[in-house]
Amino acid sequence: MKVLRITPERCTGCMRCELACSYMQTGTFQPAKSVIRISPFEAHTSYAPYTCTQCAEAWCLVACPVEAITISPVGAKVVQDDMCVGCKLCTIACPYGTIFYNPDTEKAFKCNLCEGNPACAEACPTAAIEYVEAQTTDWLGDFAATRSAGRLGLLPGQA
Amino acid sequence: MARTRHVIVGGGTAGMNAITTIRQYDRGASDIMLVSAERPYARMVLPYYLKGSISESHVYTASPSRLSALHVEAYLGRRAARLDTQASTLTLDDDTVLPYDNLLIATGSSPVRAPVPGADGQGIHSFWTLEQAQGVVRQMRPGSAVAMVGAGFIAFTILNALLSHGVKLSVVEIAPQILPRMIDQQGAEMVAQWLRDRGVAIRTSARLQAIEDAGSQKRLRFEGDADLLADCVIMATGIRTNLGWLDGSGVAINRGILVDAQQRSNIPNVYAAGDVAEGKDLISGQPAVHAIEPTAMEHGRVAGANMAGQPLAYRGSLLMNIVEVLGLEIASFGAWDSSTAEVFSATRPDRPAYRKLLWQGDRLIGAMLLGPEKDVWTSNDVGMLKGLVQTGSRLGDWKGYLQRNLFDIKRAYIASGITARLLPQTVLGSPSVPAGTVAVA
């Protein structure tokens, strides 16, 4: 299936993905409502976008007591708003921290791959986010570990 | 060859997950009989029914058409009365005898009331079953005085719903703190303050002596404290597992039915799942009764797979709880109350936010989190902390970083490669399928 392939070395931290995502998901330009989130590394000189992997276990889906999370035709785990009661079991079950709760709507929300046309990938000016046929993997771990050495005080003269 | 006969006792989360999982594997090649005292529903969502944000029809988990699609023969309104493990037969309360090849015990828990005079009287409510929830719903009047006896997780799940009806709420708890089995004392004090600031009266170390009639109201008498008058009294004073019917059956019971990694009891064709099962705790490796929804769900799936003939070893259950009251989110995981762990904790000066991380070496074995739900980091970090505890990853130098930065979980999480460890993890050894897509062939 097509997945969001993240190449963190290309990310400039411009946040266009967060703006595009929040606009697509909620109709407002509000990064706090984005389901893809940029993290800074190496004292804010390196960045990486982080979002749902659409994992095989689907921790959120199996945790839901009312079957409000389904799998869409493009393979995304999707919250059905009319079924979600807002109990938050999914947010504590997801070990990736990629399903959220919106206090305004009292519903859970997460990446649904924009029904096969992800706004984040379209908005990214450097192709750090691409929507391609690939095997999902940990796109960020090695990058973040390397770029964080200074933050951990492992390199002299950095913080 | 004769068709395998699976008897499922209990239509809650554990039982329904077992049924779906059996059908996921066998596509209808066996007989499944479900014995359930009530029509199956999701207990977790009853608070939303009380609040009025969902209708009663929304709470049901197994419509007649779903049970039919899964080829389940349902004995609804019936209770299991006797189990004969020698003959492999289950006798119901109407003397129906069900022979089985595999039996799953998933009879859950029942509420326990405070052992004081008047606690069983008219107008004293429990909030556990759908019927009891309906009883509380009928009592909701704006401005009426509601006394909640008990301040544990169950009580807290319905505070928002009660307050949304405009009632005047008092919470009384026998322990020195609220939420005694979910958060520590410092966290509990922050939650109590949050509630008091929003008009909820809270008494801790409250020793209830009796509940008496006082005209149309109830009078709660305490030792060494003023009486409390209430129009409606709700008892949330704990639960007890439904195991009494197994006396003399030969099924080995400690705090719950002792089960192995296949959810099998000491009787090879008798399985147990959910609140009644005492299975492996993921963190301690020791047998434990969690009595929480996520454990019931995983127990049910693992039992179902093994009953369907898929040999599957369960890694163990992670204790976790999450509840939100008036916009304050409270969560804890794993060994959050360990007395031997190394502990980092921090609060924020600008808002009610508290974090506690518990360590064994450089592995996180438990966590507690408290903060306004509107804070972006709150829901983000709930899941990431769960991932850190669940994977038991060695965090190396990030441990020191987290000691200084308890509110910056994300960098440590991403850079420690937690995602790489999680991606291959599945409970059943294969991708999960939505329950609604499982049907017989």
pTM of the model: 0.96
Q: Looking at chain A, which residue has its C-alpha nearest residue B63?
A: A66
B69 touches chain A (CB under 8 A): no
User: What is the end-to-end Cα distance of chain A in Å, rounded?
Assistant: 40
> Three-state SS across B186-227?
HHHHHHHHHHHHCCCEEECCCCEEEEEEECCEEEEEECCEEE
C-alpha to C-alpha distance for B75 and B64, rounded to whole angstroms: 12
Beta-carbon count within 10 A of A13 CB: 16
Best probe of the A interface among B65, B382, B405, by most A CBs < 10 A, is: B382
3 state SS of A96? coil
pLDDT tens-digit map of B14-32: 999 999 999 999 999 999 9
Residue ranges of B 361-420 with Cβ closer than 8 A to chain A = 373-374, 376, 379-387, 390-391, 397-398, 400-401, 409-411, 413-420
**Average pLDDT of B373-402?**
90
Section B202-231 average pLDDT: 96
Crossing angle of helices B293-307 and B13-26, in 10° steps, is: 30
Q: If you average pLDDT over every residue of chain B, what do you get?
A: 95
Residue B416 to chain A, least CA–CA distance (Å): 6
**B351 Cβ under 8 Å from any chain A Cβ:** no
In this predicted structure, the answer to whether residue B191 has a pLDDT above a threshold of 50 is yes
pLDDT tens, B240-282? 999 999 999 999 999 999 999 999 999 999 999 999 999 999 9
Question: Phi/psi zone of residue B417: left (φ > 0), alpha (ψ -120 to 50 degrees), beta?
Answer: left
**How far is it, in rounded angstroms, from Cα B142 to Cα B145?**
9
pLDDT computed for residue A41 by the predictor: 86
B439 touching chain A per CB within 8 A = no
Cα separation values, B302 from A32, B267, B282, B428, Å: 37, 17, 14, 7
Which one of A54, A85, A147 makes the best mutation probe of the B interface by having the most chain B beta carbons within 10 Å?
A85
pLDDT of A109 reads: 94
Taking a contact as any Cβ pair under 8 Å apart, which residues of chain B between 32 and 61 contact chain A? 42-45, 47-48, 53-54, 58-59, 61
Q: Give the CA angle between residues A40, A151, A36 to the nearest 5°.
A: 20
Report percent pLDDT > 70 for chain B: 99
Residues of chain A in contact with residue B376, where contact means CB-CB under 8 angstroms, are: 32
- Answer yes or no: is pLDDT of B380 > 80: no
pLDDT at B189: 96
Average pLDDT over residues B204-218: 96
Contact state of A96 with B400 under an 8 Å Cβ cutoff: no
Predicted pLDDT at A153:
64
User: Does residue B195 have a pLDDT over 90?
Assistant: yes
Asked if the C-beta of A108 comes within 8 angstroms of chain B's C-beta atoms, the answer is no
pLDDT on residue A33: 87
Cβ-contact B257, B90 below 8 angstroms: no
A79 — contact with chain B (CB < 8 Å)? no
User: Phi and psi at residue A104, in whole multiples of 5°?
Assistant: -75, -40
- Please, which residues 34-63 of chain A have a Cβ atom closer than 8 Å to chain B? 37, 39, 41, 48, 50, 53, 55-58, 61-63
B142 in contact with A at a CB cutoff of 8 Å? no
Q: What is the ipTM of this complex?
A: 0.95
pLDDT at residue A158 in the model: 39
In the predicted model, what is the mean pLDDT of residues B348-359? 93
The segments of chain A whose pLDDT lies below 50 read: 156-159
For B128-156, how does the pLDDT look when each residue is reduced to its tens digit (9 = 90+)? 999 999 999 999 999 999 999 999 999 99
Residue at B189: amino acid letter = E
